[in-house]
Amino acid sequence: MLEQVIVAGFGGQGVLRIGQMIAYAGFAEGKEVTWAPSYGPEMRGGTANCSVVVSDSEIGSAQLLEADSVIAMNLPSLHKFEPAVLKGGKLFINSSVIKEKATRSDISVYYVDANAVAEKIGNDKGGNMVILGAYAKVTGSVKLESLYELVKKTFTGDKAKFVDSNIACIKAGAELF
């Protein structure tokens, strides 16, 4: 198994967290992983993306020019990274923010109303967890149970109050597909 994914959006959308969660879950499952972030100096509103590779065997490079999957959280990211999806690959679009449709017909496209689903759960910042759940369910690159355990381990201290709602967001995203 080899899964190469690019996650892209703007700062504040939890783009880097999605990538970290995929990488950490893969690592917890005994897989080889890489995570390579890229972001501007802004804390919120600037561009952010990361490349993640999850594999059953050794990984040659963390940098990706093309990917099996792309998760686009905003319109500029869709425009920039839709061409990077390999033929037959998967494109996940946060349709709460992106109103345009994908232009390619040689890939599978998944429209995830991530922010709206998260808001219904009561977690207005959980859109990233919703699209993460959809991604994990569709690709099978990491197990949903690994993501649930990771939320329990990493949302601690003053963020512990978000454990249940983040798990609910991941589950809701997975149930969309």
CATH (domain of 97): 3.40.920.10
Residue 7: what pLDDT?
98
Q: Indicate if the pLDDT at residue 156 is higher than 70.
A: yes
Query: Is the pLDDT at 124 greater than 90, yes or no?
Result: yes
% of the chain beyond a pLDDT of 70:
97
Tokens coding 113: 């109303």
> What is the mean pLDDT of the segment spanning 141-161?
97
Region 68-96: mean pLDDT is: 98
Domains identified in the chain, total number: 1
Q: What is the pLDDT of residue 60?
A: 83
Q: Which pLDDT belongs to residue 28? A: 98
Which alpha helices (H) appear in 62-101, and where do they start and end?
75-81
Q: Are 22 and 141 in contact (CB under 8 A)?
A: yes
The residue assigned the tokens 């569709």 is 138
Q: For the chain, percent helix, then strand, then coil, each to nearest 5?
A: 40, 25, 30
**pTM across the whole model:** 0.96
In the predicted model, is pLDDT for residue 154 greater than 70? yes
- Using the predicted structure, report yes or no on whether residue 170 has a pLDDT greater than 90: yes
The pLDDT assigned to 26 comes to: 98
Would you say residue 39 has pLDDT above 90?
no
- The confidence score (pLDDT) of residue 95 equals 98
Helix (H) or strand (E) holding 4: strand 2-10
| Structural domain span for residue 41 | 2-175
